[in-house]
């Protein structure tokens, strides 16, 4: 209670609000229905709102569905009881608009246990009579009436909780839908209602607020009233019901709920619908329920509140306080909710309302005060003060506690920083060893938690390092434990003697025995933490020593764990079983599932259902039953897993950060039973759990992506295209929340393997759902090339931002430079010691977080709402001005060409192109002999010809050649679309003879490259800068590579280029690249089958220039002209789950800043590489190195080499297949010439001219 704001009992006369006295229904209502299908013989009033009344009408003729009653709502503009308030009848239009939209949205009909929640069907609106006619729920009444009579008290507490959960779940979905999927026209309609009806109502309530404030003199109440008047209270970014209370919830068949039967709820009275803060609806329902507790003594109301709050997504701290204040305000209007109350009840409501408003306005929070006070003490404390370490530790623990409550990453980061500072300030001697060990443990857990949130392998490595350090200073035997216990006991004895006497502490011997027992448990936990960290590391690296270390530490932990600690032993048994499973086939058989189930069942039986660790324990048991079901197929195990997963979910807090994972687990087992039995209810339940997981905002983005992917897959299997599209759009919207700026490239790559197939599935279901081709492209752009996109964001051109908003642009550039430099440092992290490496990890993490927030802030600026997002429709068409862009989406459902032209965007279905056929051709293309004319002809028939026909490219140009850009997706990226056609005919049926082809990894990559070029040109102030420096590097052991460099050196010098030929070592090459304009590499390329980031150009003495290395350099300030990678497979990705990420040497050079990159799709011939390069550069020289000359040069070279191939082939009779010289394993080696290593000619004429491609603007 805030005593300063306490008031004497406030009488009802002083705060009289609105009385619910309405005129009885008259003949006018019946007459207004006479000319409709809903003519009634009588009407009966069932509900009265403010300036409206609701009736049940008995129809003269039943409806086509057999129903004989309807609900009639009649609205008025004024009320004689409140003549100063006029509410426009346009609110009726808003009501009918929102109801029609909600009724047509399946996701807004919620089924929870035996409860369903929906909105009623609007039959007809009579504008002249301002009367609406709705469907009737038979035997219904309001939830308010149900709860205020005896029937409401007969339902059990669990049923009441379920009722509240159903309402909370429905409200959550409604708010989420209004933010993301609301039609623009409907948004404007609701906005008009906000400016009219809602404004008048809020002004009326403000008048009452000020009257109460004048009486009680509360400064906090005055501040709250001022905030409400300024409309700065929360964000008006949500459509809210506006009057969400039990009076506006109809309940069907109330008697059924008493018996635990199925019950339907309907949300009615939408005329107050407006734009507002989502907490408004929450506050109104909670206040209504709590007033029923005060006015009617209803305990059931409290159970409904519990369920209602738990089912709604957790609120952040600010939103929670706004909700509290608004609950308090609603208490002032008790007579809207009840006809009478006693003076005592009224006084209680008034004082409670004032108190809650005060709490909401002041935002009083103990932990925040501790943080502020601790920081103030540290600010004035000398750096060398002996207590500084303890003060830092106090501050760190406070941040940790606030993180545990709210889950804010900033608090976790603050804990890591302050905890490390505290450790640095603590003496490293025996007296403080135990304290240091505890601190190291805490930091290990914090880094592990941050790893769980970000997925950064560096955080996992930091956790292992801290756990190892803690173990190193852990005593190894009883004597060492006793010695340490004396040190700790001495520390305890330094407290004031009177405090020690009051505590009656144990003797030193007793302390030592207890300390030894407790310390064994600590040692077990440390080994367990280290074992789990190694297990996670194995999942990332696949290194056998990591899983061996995991098993070793987990077994040691089990040895240190007493038989009495059944929970800990059960947990360890589960982790050991999982470690054995992960190493199955490499380290031995998995033998611990039965042991885990036995230990877990014992632990579950020994604990009560209301203990905090019970949900976690039950989930572990469910996990093991599910694992056993996978091995045995025994249905009983699946049934048991379902029961336990459901129990774990039902007994865990609704605001837990792992809630999404629990819902996902439930969805998986229900779906498994659906596939086994075909029960539709299991399918619906699985969908429900996946949707709940996907929408749980407090869970991490990673934990929400998994159920999104699972739900999308299920929707595709059952062919529910509308839900599939909604799921895909929601899931893809989570990708920007992955904090990719805060983690390294290898961590991003590992994270993105989970998204395999999401892009193509999303585009396919978007088209199946009847959406526009632009929407399909938008989802593709957001879900493909995510790693490259995150890196291009920090290299993006911000010249427009600098002109209009220089301050955020300056901050963006500053953070970008820090992030790039920290990435470069981490690339050499093996040269850093422990603390220095941790400093780099923390620097990158902090900077990434700040950059992510800055990007969000920039998107709030006028004109920059799409900053670094997918291109708009107009931007896509503008990108097609130089030539059309064709995205080929390959999916098992359908294959389509998405055609982007300068005037339109359209879809061209490709019915004869099938994903299975593409996979077969792409797989066979891993061996050289599979490259054949048959493949090129098939590509022409199924893909190239239909696309070219649709674009109007139907013959060989006679003058200017048209250009076009191909963006293949999935396995199609491995195939040569540019070479498709019948090359043994008259050349009229080939891509090469109709257009100049270029490639791009995405439209975004193409547009960003062009923006960078335009920005560079504008900065040069009309000076047409030509390339000046060429870096040429040929590997000396290749016969034709050295000759290739000699030819190019002569050509470059003829173009007035300074030629630089660095040594073939990494350091010299990177130094030469910093100011080059042309980079040509003639040598070996290596495609890494497991990790595309390790694909590389091979230098001397085992050195390499990897994709990862190229991604860390930034040449954008110089904007070099060409990178020509005359090596094998520089545009190749052999890891299928990362094919859409385009992680190859070509894209790496593009990202580094090269305008044009020429590379190869697979293995190439040494001599052909030399010929292709010389023809290409000759063309570029003849065209004076203009922008178009690069793609033209590659095109001209391919056609020239093709003519030679055709001529030689005709001499031998016909085109034949290519033959391999070496097997696939040998082809992974390097150090031999390109022709030896890759392809040789036997009796056939290999298609050496095919693999050369151009990427660029």
Residue 611 is predicted with a pLDDT of: 60
Residues 819, 635: Cα–Cα separation, whole Å: 52
User: How many other C-beta atoms are found inside a 10 Å radius of the C-beta of residue 881?
Assistant: 10
**Average pLDDT of span 461-472:** 82
Q: Which two tokens stand for residue 963?
A: 């250009």
- Mapping DSSP to helix (H, G, I), strand (E, B) and coil, where does residue 835 land? helix
Which sign does the torsion angle of CA 734, 736, 738, 744 carry? positive
CA atoms of 764 and 888, how far apart (whole Å):
11
Give the integer Cα–Cα distance in Å for 1048 and 1052: 6
Lowest model confidence (mean pLDDT) among 198-207, 532-541, 905-914, 936-945: 198-207
Tell me which residue of 302, 259, 344, 20 sits closest to 147, measured CA to CA: 302
DSSP structural state of residue 734: T
Higher per-residue pLDDT: 661 or 746: 661
Q: What's the pLDDT at 637?
A: 94
Domain boundaries, given as residue ranges, for the chain: 25-229+238-364, 871-963+970-1000, 1025-1208
For helices 758-768 and 773-783, the axis angle rounded to 10 degrees is: 170
Ramachandran sector of residue 721 (left: φ over 0; alpha: ψ -120 to 50; beta: rest) = alpha
Q: For residue 197, give every residue at least 6 positions away whose Cβ sits within 8 Å of its Cβ, in sequence order, or none.
A: 87, 88, 90, 91, 94, 271, 272, 274
- Dihedral (CA of 413, 418, 424, 430) sign: negative
336-345, 840-849, 854-863, 990-999 — most confident range: 990-999
Q: What is the pLDDT of residue 955?
A: 93
pLDDT on residue 841: 55
Report the C-alpha gap between 5 and 221 in whole angstroms: 9
Q: Residue 1023's CB: how many other CB atoms inside 10 A?
A: 8
pLDDT tens, position by position, 624-643:
899 888 888 899 999 999 99
As a three-state string, the secondary structure of 33-76 is: HCCCCCCEEEEEEEEEECCEEEEEEEECCCCCCCCCEEEEEEEC
Q: What is the rounded CA–CA span in Å between residue 536 and residue 1016?
A: 45
**Mean pLDDT across 610-619:** 71
What's the mean pLDDT in 427-431? Answer: 67
Which range (13-22, 193-202, 718-727, 1059-1068) has the least confidence? 13-22
Alpha-carbon distance 1038 to 942, whole Å?
Answer: 39
pLDDT in tens, 897-922: 999 999 999 999 999 999 999 988 88
For the segment 209-254, what is each residue's pLDDT rounded down to a tens digit? 777 766 776 666 777 777 765 555 556 678 899 889 988 898 876 6
What's the whole-number mean pLDDT along residues 1121-1140? 76
Tell me what pLDDT residue 823 has.
46
Residue 631, CB-side half-sphere exposure with 13 Å CA sphere: 13
Per the CB < 8 A criterion, the answer to whether 1085 and 1107 are in contact is no
The fraction of the chain above a pLDDT of 70, given in percent, is 74
pLDDT computed for residue 744 by the predictor: 54
- Of 1191, 1123, 1109, the closest CA to residue 1155 belongs to 1123
Average pLDDT on 271-281 reads 87
Q: What pLDDT does 540 receive?
A: 65
Contact 1154/1120 with Cβ under 8 angstroms?
Answer: yes
Cα distance between residue 33 and residue 61, in whole Å = 12
Do 280 and 326 form a contact (C-beta atoms < 8 A)? yes
Q: Could you tell me the maximum CA-CA distance found in the chain, to the nearest angstrom? A: 110
Residue 521, C-beta contacts closer than 8 angstroms, at least 6 positions apart? 560, 561, 562, 565, 568
Task: Name every residue whose Cβ is closer than 8 Å to that of residue 315 and which is 6 or more positions away in sequence.
Answer: 279, 323
* CB-CB contact of 459 with 448 (8 Å): yes
Q: Are 350 and 332 within 8 A, CB to CB?
A: yes
Q: Phi and psi dihedrals of 468, rounded to 5?
A: -65, -45
C-alpha to C-alpha distance for 328 and 332, rounded to whole angstroms: 7
- Most confidently modeled range among 259-268, 521-530, 552-561: 552-561
How sure is the predictor about 475, in pLDDT bands with cuts at 50, 70 and 90? low
What is the distance between the alpha carbons of residues 664 and 703, in angstroms, rounded to a whole number?
8
Phi and psi dihedrals of 306, rounded to 5? -55, -50
Burial of 1043 per CB tally in 10 Å (0-12, 13-18, 19+): middle
* pTM of the model as a whole: 0.58
Of 18, 307, 335, 361, nearest to 163 by C-alpha is: 307
206, pLDDT greater than 80: no
Mean pLDDT of the chain: 77
- Per-residue CA distances from 887 to 780, 898, 961 (Å): 9, 5, 21
As beta bridge partners, residue 116 has 111, 264
User: Above 80 in pLDDT, residue 403?
Assistant: no
pLDDT of residue 724: 95
Give the mean pLDDT of 201-212: 72
* Nearest alpha-carbon partner for 258 in 135, 171, 139, 338: 139
- Choosing among 3.10.450.50, 3.20.20.220, 3.90.79.10, 3.40.50.1460, the CATH entry for 1025-1208 is 3.40.50.1460
Asked if 278 and 238 count as a contact pair (C-beta separation under 8 A), the reply is yes
Q: Provide the 8-state DSSP code for 197.
A: I
Which range (647-661, 1151-1165, 1174-1188) has the least confidence? 647-661
Question: Tell me: the pLDDT tens digits for 1044-1061?
Answer: 999 999 999 999 999 999
pLDDT value for 1223: 36
User: Pairing between strand 1078-1082 and 1029-1034?
Assistant: parallel
Listed range (197-206, 427-436, 603-612, 968-977) with the worst mean pLDDT: 603-612
Round to whole Å and give the CA distance between 452 and 446. 10
pLDDT mean over 994-1021: 75
Tokens of 845: 């993490």
**pLDDT, tens digit (0-9, with 9 covering 90-100), for 1132-1176:** 766 666 666 666 788 778 877 889 999 998 888 889 999 999 999
Q: Could you tell me which residue, 50 or 529, shows the higher pLDDT?
A: 529
Give the pLDDT band (50/70/90) at residue 449.
Answer: confident
pLDDT at 1227: 33
Query: Is 1153 in a helix, a strand, or coil?
Result: coil
The length of the chain is 1257
Please return the burial class of 39, using the count of CB atoms within 10 Å of its CB with bins 0-12, 13-18 and 19+.
middle
Per-residue confidence (pLDDT) for residue 183, from 0 to 100: 76
Query: Which value, in Å, is the radius of gyration of the alpha carbons in the chain?
Result: 35
Across the range 261-285, mean pLDDT stands at: 86
Whole-angstrom distance, CA of residue 1173 vs CA of residue 1188 = 16
861 Cβ neighbours under 8 A, 6+ residues apart: 804, 805, 808, 867
Q: Under 8 Å CB-to-CB from 513, ≥6 apart: which residues?
A: none
What percentage of the chain has pLDDT greater than the value 90?
23
What tens digit of pLDDT does each residue of 35-71 get? 888 999 998 887 666 678 888 899 999 888 788 899 8
Tokens linked to 704: 């929400």
Ranking 241-245, 672-676, 733-737 by mean pLDDT, the lowest is: 733-737
Residues 466, 447 contacting (CB under 8 angstroms): yes
Q: Which residue has the higher pLDDT, 439 or 181?
A: 439
* pLDDT tens digit sequence for 771-790: 999 999 999 988 886 655 55
H helices of 899-1019, in order, are 915-924, 933-939, 945-951, 1003-1019
Give CA–CA dist 440/42, Å, rounded.
77
Q: Are 679 and 688 in contact (CB under 8 A)?
A: no
């Amino acid at each position: 209670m805030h005593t300063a704001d306490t008031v004497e009992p406030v009488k009802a006369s002083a705060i009289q609000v609105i009385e619910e006295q309405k005129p009885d229904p008259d003949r006018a209502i019946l007459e207004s229905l006479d000319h409709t299908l809903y003519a009634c013989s009588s009407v009966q009033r069932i509900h009265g709102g403010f300036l409206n009344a609701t009736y049940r009408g008995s129809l003269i003729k039943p409806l086509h569905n057999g129903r004989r009653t309807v609900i009639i709502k009649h609205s008025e503009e004024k009320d004689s009881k409140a003549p100063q308030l006029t509410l426009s009848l346009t609110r009726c239009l808003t009501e009918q608009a929102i109801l029609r939209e909600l009724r047509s949205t399946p996701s807004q009909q919620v089924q929870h246990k035996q409860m369903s929640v929906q909105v009623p069907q609007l039959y007809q609106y009579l504008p002249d009579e301002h009367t609406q006619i709705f469907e009737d729920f038979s035997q219904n009444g309001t939830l308010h009436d149900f709860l205020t009579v005896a029937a409401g008290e007969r339902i059990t507490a669990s049923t009441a909780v379920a009722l509240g959960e159903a309402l909370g779940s429905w409200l959550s979905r409604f708010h989420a839908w209004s933010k993301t999927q609301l039609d623009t026209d409907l948004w404007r309609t609701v906005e008009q209602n906000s400016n009219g009806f809602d404004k008048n109502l809020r002004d009326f309530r403000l008048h009452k607020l000020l009257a109460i404030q004048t009486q009680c003199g509360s400064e906090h109440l005055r501040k709250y009233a001022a905030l409400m008047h300024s409309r700065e209270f929360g964000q008006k970014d949500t459509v809210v019901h506006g009057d969400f209370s039990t009076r506006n919830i109809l309940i069907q068949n109330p008697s059924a709920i008493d018996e635990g039967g199925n019950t339907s709820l309907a949300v009615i009275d939408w005329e107050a619908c407006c734009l507002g803060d989502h907490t408004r609806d929450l506050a109104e329902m909670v206040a209504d329920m709590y007033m029923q507790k005060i006015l009617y003594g209803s305990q059931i109301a409290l159970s409904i509140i519990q369920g209602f709050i738990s089912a709604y997504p957790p609120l952040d701290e600010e939103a929670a306080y706004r909700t509290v204040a608004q609950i308090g305000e609603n208490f002032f209007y008790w007579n809207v909710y009840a006809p009478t109350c006693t003076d005592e009840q009224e006084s209680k409501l008034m004082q409670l309302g004032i108190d809650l408003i005060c709490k909401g306005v002041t935002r009083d929070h103990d932990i925040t005060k501790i943080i502020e006070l601790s920081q103030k003490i540290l600010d004035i404390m000398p750096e060398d003060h002996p207590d500084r370490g303890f003060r830092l530790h106090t501050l760190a623990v406070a941040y940790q506690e606030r993180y545990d409550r709210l889950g804010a990453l900033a608090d976790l980061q603050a804990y890591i920083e302050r905890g490390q500072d505290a450790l640095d300030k603590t003496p490293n001697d025996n007296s403080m060893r135990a304290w240091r060990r505890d601190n190291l443990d805490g930091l290990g857990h914090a880094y592990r938690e941050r790893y769980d949130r970000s997925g950064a392998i560096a955080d996992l490595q930091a956790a292992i390092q801290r756990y190892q350090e803690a173990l190193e200073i852990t005593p190894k035997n009883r004597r060492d434990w006793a010695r340490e216990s004396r040190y700790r006991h001495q520390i305890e004895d330094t407290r004031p003697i009177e405090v020690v006497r009051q505590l009656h502490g144990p003797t030193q011997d007793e302390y030592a025995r207890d300390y030894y027992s407790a310390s064994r448990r600590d040692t077990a936990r440390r080994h367990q933490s280290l074992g789990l960290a190694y297990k996670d590391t194995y999942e990332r690296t696949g290194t056998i020593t990591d899983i061996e270390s995991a098993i070793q530490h987990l077994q040691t932990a089990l040895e240190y764990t007493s038989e009495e600690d059944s929970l800990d032993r059960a947990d360890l048994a589960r982790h050991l079983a999982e470690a054995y499973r992960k190493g199955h086939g490499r380290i031995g058989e998995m033998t611990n599932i039965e042991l885990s189930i036995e230990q877990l069942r014992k632990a579950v039986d020994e604990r009560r259902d209301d203990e905090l660790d019970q949900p976690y324990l039950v989930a572990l048991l469910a996990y093991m039953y599910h694992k056993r079901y996978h091995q045995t197929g025994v249905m009983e195990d699946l049934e048991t897993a379902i029961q336990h997963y459901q129990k774990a979910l039902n007994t865990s807090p609704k605001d837990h950060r792992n809630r999404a994972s629990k819902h996902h687990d439930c969805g998986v087992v229900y779906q498994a039973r659906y596939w086994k039995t075909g029960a539709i209810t299991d399918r619906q339940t699985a969908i429900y759990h996946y949707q709940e997981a996907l929408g749980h905002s407090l869970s991490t983005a990673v934990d929400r992506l998994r159920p999104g992917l699972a739900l999308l897959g299920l929707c595709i299997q059952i062919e529910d295209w509308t839900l599939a599209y909604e799921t895909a759009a929601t899931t893809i919207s989570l990708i920007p929340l992955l904090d990719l700026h805060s983690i390294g490239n290898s961590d991003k790559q590992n994270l993105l393997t989970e998204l395999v197939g999401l892009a193509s599935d999303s585009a396919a279901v978007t088209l199946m759902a009847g959406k526009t081709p632009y929407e399909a492209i938008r989802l593709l752009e957001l879900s493909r090339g995510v790693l490259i996109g995150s890196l291009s964001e920090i290299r993006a051109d911000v010249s427009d931002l600098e002109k209009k908003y220089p301050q955020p642009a300056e901050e963006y550039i500053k953070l970008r430079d820090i992030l790039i430099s920290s990435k470069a440092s981490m690339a050499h992290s093996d040269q850093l010691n422990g603390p220095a490496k941790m400093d780099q990890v923390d620097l990158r993490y902090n900077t990434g977080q700040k950059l992510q927030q800055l990007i969000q802030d920039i998107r709030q600026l006028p004109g920059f709402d799409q900053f670094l997002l997918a291109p708009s429709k107009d931007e896509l068409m503008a990108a097609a001005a130089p030539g059309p862009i064709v995205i080929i989406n390959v999916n098992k459902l359908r294959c389509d060409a998405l055609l982007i032209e300068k005037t339109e965007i359209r879809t061209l279905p490709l019915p004869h192109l099938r994903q299975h056929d593409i996979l077969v051709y792409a797989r066979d293309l891993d061996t050289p002999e599979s490259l054949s004319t048959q493949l090129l002809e098939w590509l022409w028939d199924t893909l190239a010809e239909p696309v070219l026909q649709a674009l109007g490219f139907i013959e060989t140009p006679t003058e200017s050649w048209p250009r076009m850009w191909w963006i293949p997706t999935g396995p199609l990226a491995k195939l040569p679309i540019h070479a498709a056609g019948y090359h043994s005919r008259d050349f009229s049926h080939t891509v090469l003879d109709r257009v100049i082809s270029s490639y791009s990894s995405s439209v975004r990559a193409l547009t960003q490259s062009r923006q960078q070029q335009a920005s560079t040109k504008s900065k040069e102030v009309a000076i047409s800068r030509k390339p000046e420096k060429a870096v040429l590097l040929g590997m000396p052991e290749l016969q034709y590579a050295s000759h290739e460099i000699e030819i190019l050196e002569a050509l470059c010098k003829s173009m007035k280029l300074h030629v630089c030929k660095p040594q073939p070592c990494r350091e010299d090459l990177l130094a030469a690249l910093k100011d080059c304009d042309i980079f040509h590499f003639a040598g070996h390329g290596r495609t890494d089958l497991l990790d595309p980031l390790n694909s590389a150009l091979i230098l001397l003495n085992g050195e390499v220039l990897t994709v990862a290395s190229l991604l860390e350099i930034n040449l954008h300030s110089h904007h070099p002209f060409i990178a020509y990678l005359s090596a094998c497979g520089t545009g190749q990705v052999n890891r299928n789950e990362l094919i859409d990420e385009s992680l190859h040497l070509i894209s790496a050079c593009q990202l580094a800043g090269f305008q044009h990159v020429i590379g190869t799709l697979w293995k190439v011939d040494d001599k052909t590489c030399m010929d292709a390069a010389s023809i290409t550069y000759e063309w570029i020289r003849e065209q004076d190195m203009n922008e178009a000359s690069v793609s033209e040069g590659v095109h001209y070279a391919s056609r020239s080499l093709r003519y030679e191939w055709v001529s030689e082939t005709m001499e031998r009779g016909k085109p034949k297949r290519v033959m391999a010289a070496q097997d696939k394993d040998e082809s992974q080696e390097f150090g031999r010439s390109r022709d030896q290593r890759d392809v040789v000619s036997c009796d056939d004429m290999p298609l050496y001219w095919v693999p050369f491609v151009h990427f660029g603007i």
